[in-house]
Amino acid sequence: MALYAAIDLHSTNGVLAVIDECDAVLRRRRLPNDLATVLRELEPYRGELAGIAVESTYNWYWLVDGLMAHGFRVHLVNTAAVVQYDGLKHGDDESDAFHLAHLLRLGILPEGYIYPEAERPIRDLLRRRSQLVRQSVELMQSVQSNWSRTTGHSLPANDFRELEGKVIEATYPDPTARMAVLVQVRAWLALRREVDEIERWLKDQIGHRPALALLRSVPGIGLILGLTILLETGAIGRFSTVGDYASYCRMVKSERMSNGKRKGVGNRKCGNRYLAWAYIEAANYALRYSVPIKRWYDRKRGKRHRVIALKAVAHKIARACYFILRDGVRLVLQRAFA
């Protein structure tokens, strides 16, 4: 008889449920976040376990990797797509774990993608770079705002990058106000050094991949955007159609219709926000450097709002990148933006 298990994982513990083909609960227990303990609980059922569903929003690496390394078949739950039973009057972690095992038994468990363990650190490092860039931009904008309040004049980004101690001292005679600006400028410089170091590391690690060179042939896609698209996409074979990939990149309109009427907007956050950012950025750069894409955008812009036209360009680029990654071909600009 096949058995089915599920673990509802939290920050410090997880609830394990094991059921049989008749939904009878064989084991239900709250366990600490310790791999050895989890393995010990699962070992009596190893020979009959058809799979283990793991639900977690952020801290699943240790558990999923550990279970897979010990020969268990693991299913990572797509938390945004799991629907709890209608009419449930009381729910808790134990009922959630049972429900996940039940969905696994029925073969209707919404699953997420388990990114390969060997590639995951590189992808996560690129995400850390994005975080540091956002922090550095916030620091720059804070100094620019302070400068405007103090002098009545704006401070362009290029001028900020060339700020020197003497200029800051002349602008801020008050030592306390000067210290506030100097601290932010020094923090910005430190962040930029770390960002540069990350970029050099990433280039050395994966900058030689043929797929990256093909992606960079697309107007608007440089090193960082190409790396983001390559790493966040992962195995392109997991997307059966280009439409599935475009949806994952949040390039598809989200709405619910019934009888010709709009009933809602659906799940706008379903998909990969890093890919959504990358393709919008690529679209903005493509408009600057590609005449055919700019001409196509202008025609679209003449009929629709500029945001919709920009999103259409990003959608086109995302679809093109799908075929580039799947087939190993270069973009034919005339076909994509005729």
pLDDT per residue as tens, the chain (338 positions): 899 999 999 999 999 999 999 999 999 999 999 999 999 999 999 999 999 999 998 899 999 999 999 999 999 999 888 776 555 555 677 888 999 999 999 999 999 999 999 999 999 999 999 999 999 999 999 999 999 999 999 999 999 999 988 999 999 999 999 999 999 999 999 999 999 999 999 999 888 899 999 999 999 999 999 999 999 999 999 999 999 999 999 998 766 656 666 655 666 667 899 999 999 999 999 999 999 999 999 999 999 999 999 999 999 999 999 999 999 998 888 777 87
Beta strands in the chain (DSSP E): 3-9, 13-19, 25-32, 49-55, 74-76, 256-258, 261-264
User: Quick one: DSSP state of residue 83?
Assistant: -
Residue 217's SS3 state is coil
Residue 338 pLDDT: 73
- Alpha-carbon distance 16 to 101, whole Å? 9
Contact between 115 and 127 under an 8 Å Cβ cutoff? The reply is: no
Q: Which amino acid is at 91?
A: G
Map tokens 């004049």 to a residue.
153
Residue 122 pLDDT: 94
Beta strands in 110-260 (DSSP E): 256-258
CA nearest neighbour of 324 among 229, 258, 193, 182: 229
pLDDT digits (tens, 9 = 90+) for 233-263: 999 999 999 999 999 999 987 666 566 666 5
CA angle at residue 257 from 252 to 262, to 5 degrees? 100
Q: Which residues of 128-147 are buried (b: 16+ CB within 10 A; e: fewer)?
A: ebbebeeebeebbeebbebb
Residue 325 pLDDT: 96
- Alpha-carbon distance 225 to 250, whole Å? 16
| Residues 6+ positions from 335 with CB-CB distance below 8 Å | none
Q: Which amino acid is at 26?
A: L
- Alpha-carbon distance 17 to 26, whole Å? 8
Q: How many residues does the chain have?
A: 338
With 0-12 CB in 10 A as exposed, 13-18 as middle and 19+ as buried, what is 93? Answer: middle
CA nearest neighbour of 24 among 44, 53, 46, 2: 2
CA nearest neighbour of 279 among 248, 258, 302, 306: 248
Helix (H) or strand (E) holding 284: helix 273-289
Domain 3-106: assigned CATH number? 3.30.420.40
Residue 267 pLDDT: 65
First and final C-alpha spacing in the chain: 58
Residue 258 pLDDT: 65
pTM of the model: 0.86
Q: Domain-by-domain residue ranges, the chain? A: 3-106, 120-206, 212-336
- Alpha-carbon distance 98 to 108, whole Å? 14
DSSP secondary structure, 225-250, as one string: HHHHHHHHH--GGG-SSHHHHHHHTT
